[in-house]
Amino acid sequence: MPTGKNPQNSGQNDMRMLISFIIMAVIFTSVLNIFMSAMTTRKATEITYTEFLQMLTQKQVQTVEIQADRLVITEKPQQNEEENAFYGLRARQYYTGIVDDPQLTDRIIASGATQYRAVENNSPILSFLATWVLPFLLIYGISGLILRSVMKKMGGGVGGPMSFGKNTAKIYAQKETGVTFADVAGQEEAKESLQEIVDFLHKPERYTAIGAKLPKGALLVGPPGTGKTLLAKAVAGEANVPFYSLSGSDFVEMFVGVGASRVRDLFKQALENAPCIVFIDEIDAIGKSRDNQMGGNDEREQTLNQLLSEMDGFDASKGVVILGATNRPEVLDKALLRPGRFDRRVIVDKPDLKGREDILKVHIKDVKLTDDVDLHQIALATSGAAGADLANIVNEAALRAVRFGREKVEQADLMEAVEIIIAGQEKKDRIMTESERKIVAYHEVGHALATALQKNTQPVQKITIVPRTMGALGYTMQMPEEEKYLMNKEEILDQITTYLAGRGAEEVIFHTVTTGASNDIEKATELARNMVAQYGMSERFDMVGLESIQNKYLDGRNVRNCAETTSAAIDEEVLKIIKQCHQKAIKLLEANQPALHKIAAFLLEKETITGEEFMKLLQEEEAVALQKA
């Protein structure tokens, strides 16, 4: 559905391009011709006319070709040369100058040789065409193609879904997106606040009649993969208006001024096609705050300024709505966020339990399922997953069903897909020694026992010692019974203990430690640190906020807000928590050695055991163990 406009200011540029093509083609053709003539003359040896006559009388000549300026003589193949000729090797050639010899034809006939006159030399035009024009055209065409594709890659904008002017990035224009709010699940609040924009695009008169001004722009904010791009398309789809989208990074080019002119073009296009949606994805690429750190970036600033002035300039009553999306709202320039620009902020956060279930339903619509599929359980197991992850899980499950030659997707496929997303593919061909497998088994059972024997923990879902591609040699999967939004201090401490119990089991049984606990240590330390620095859960610092989170929607890095010495004190507190939990884990496991041995042996045999199998074994080992803990 491209609605292409003719390039206006690209004429000059095209002219320059044409000239450089021609120069290139001429050079190439000359080189080609010099090369070719060198090739052909090298084959023939020059002889005198007398020598030629001698060859004729000795009947050594096969053919004589009379050219404009020379005679080309081909020698008869000698005995053993016949074979050569058979195999495609050329007979020897000589040439000599033209002498005014009226008897030449008679002599040639007498010697039994054939004579002919080269035809092409009669037509200098043809030969010129063959040696110059044809190669020129070929080279012109090929180099033109190559150059064009290079220019396109550099963002020169030849073709693409839509072109306007030479400095056009790929604007993605769609008459109908085909996406509606029904395709976006679990973002009810976001949909609600965007509904008004949809209404406005449907019937702008209703709003203008009262004198209401509608927001010019809304900013969709949230972590990657939560459906921001999808929502923007859905707004266009619901309102049934064209959708123009460009990614923020498309504006940022090497040359100052290019981005700004792209912004100008984009808005010009949009106004001509109003009502419509203009969507700028990843807007932080241009909208970064201008006053941050070292030096400015002229190009970005110009682009941003252009964007600001365009947003001020256009008349919203025409029905153009600008949507932006970002996962780093905190770096955006304040000027972008003030009223009259992106004055609405729509939070598109990671979905909750119900949201995840709804998203799974949307994506599993066209997948054939067996009756045992329970999406609620999958939603429980995927706490923290974004919409894109869930879409991915459904697809992985379908792929797995195909791999096993089944026609329907089972619950097991979905559960395995969840694990693939969390831990990577199974890596069955990794060979571990028997003693390594034993250590891994005890380590995992250590985690599982700590979970089962403490009060404030989540039940065990599965224990496995099949290695995964993302590095885990085995793991214990816990699954919440319900979604929780708060964690209390006891729960955090029990979770830390659970993390440390893997290493604890190694110590209790093998009296040594391995490198296998590094990931557990990292997670346990992070939790302990957050307790002290962010959650106000230590005696020593009471409720002082010592760290804050930056880039909340991305990796969520912690930033320290306190003095060096305080920082050292935080480390001490963290150490205290970790030590306590480590001791607790060891005590717990020492008291339950029989269960540890029994379950580890079972795991070594089966490689994977379910949460139910685990609980059954634990109960057989009787409640004494539970009371001792």
**Backbone φ/ψ region at 511: left (φ over 0), alpha (ψ -120 to 50), beta:** left
Query: Does 224 participate in binding ligand ADP (rule CB under 6 A)?
Result: yes
User: Taking the complex as a whole, how short is the minimal distance between the CB of residue 420 and Zn ion, in angstroms?
Assistant: 19
User: Taking the complex as a whole, how short is the minimal distance between the CB of residue 556 and ligand ADP, in angstroms?
Assistant: 16
Q: What is the residue-wise DSSP string for 106-128?
A: HHHHHHT-EEEE-SGGG-HHHHH
Q: Which of 584, 579, 606, 608 is nearest to 449 (CA)?
A: 584
Query: Does 186 participate in binding ligand ADP (rule CB under 6 A)?
Result: yes
Which region among 227-235, 486-494, 504-512, 567-575 touches ligand ADP (by CB under 6 A)? Answer: 227-235
Pairing of strands 276-281, 243-247: parallel
Query: Does 327 participate in binding Mg ion (rule CB under 5 A)?
Result: no
Q: Which of 189, 554, 527 is nearest to 352 (CA)?
A: 189
Nearer to ligand ADP, 283 or 448 (CB): 283
User: Taking the complex as a whole, how short is the minimal distance between the CB of residue 386 and Mg ion, in angstroms?
Assistant: 11
Query: Does 225 participate in binding ligand ADP (rule CB under 6 A)?
Result: yes
Q: Which of 518, 397, 496 is nearest to 451 (CA)?
A: 496
Q: What is the number of alpha carbons within 13 Å of residue 61 lying toward its C-beta?
A: 25
Query: Does 229 participate in binding ligand ADP (rule CB under 6 A)?
Result: yes
> What, of Mg ion, Zn ion, ligand ADP, none, does residue 388 touch, CB below 5 to 8 Å by kind?
ligand ADP
Given 310, 357, 419, 444, the catalytic residue: 444
Question: Binding marks (x or -) toward ligand ADP, 317..336, rule CB under 6 A?
Answer: --------x-----------
Nearer to ligand ADP, 230 or 373 (CB): 230
Query: Does 247 participate in binding Mg ion (rule CB under 5 A)?
Result: no
Q: Is 605 known to be catalytic?
A: no
Q: Which of 257, 233, 261, 228 is nearest to 245 (CA)?
A: 233
Query: Does 391 participate in binding ligand ADP (rule CB under 6 A)?
Result: yes
Which region among 251-259, 385-393, 434-442, 449-457 touches ligand ADP (by CB under 6 A)? Answer: 385-393
Residue from 520, 528, 532, 611 touching Zn ion (CB under 5 A): that is 520
E strand residue ranges, 448-520:
460-464, 475-478
Calpha distance 5→610 (Å, rounded)? 62
> What, of ligand ADP, Mg ion, Zn ion, none, does residue 350 touch, CB below 5 to 8 Å by kind?
none
Query: Does 618 participate in binding ligand ADP (rule CB under 6 A)?
Result: no
> What's the DSSP call for residue 377?
H
Residues 6+ apart with CB under 8 A from 303: 251, 252, 259, 260, 262, 263, 286
Query: Does 500 participate in binding ligand ADP (rule CB under 6 A)?
Result: no
SS (H, E, C) 178-238: CCCHHHCCCCHHHHHHHHHHHHHHHCHHHHHHHCCCCCCEEEEECCCCCCHHHHHHHHHHH
Residue located via tokens 């540029």: 13
Residue from 502, 531, 589, 625 touching Zn ion (CB under 5 A): that is 502
Contact set with ligand ADP (CB under 6 A): 184-187, 224-230, 325, 359, 362, 387-388, 391
Contact set with Zn ion (CB under 5 A): 502, 520
By annotation, the residues acting in catalysis are 444
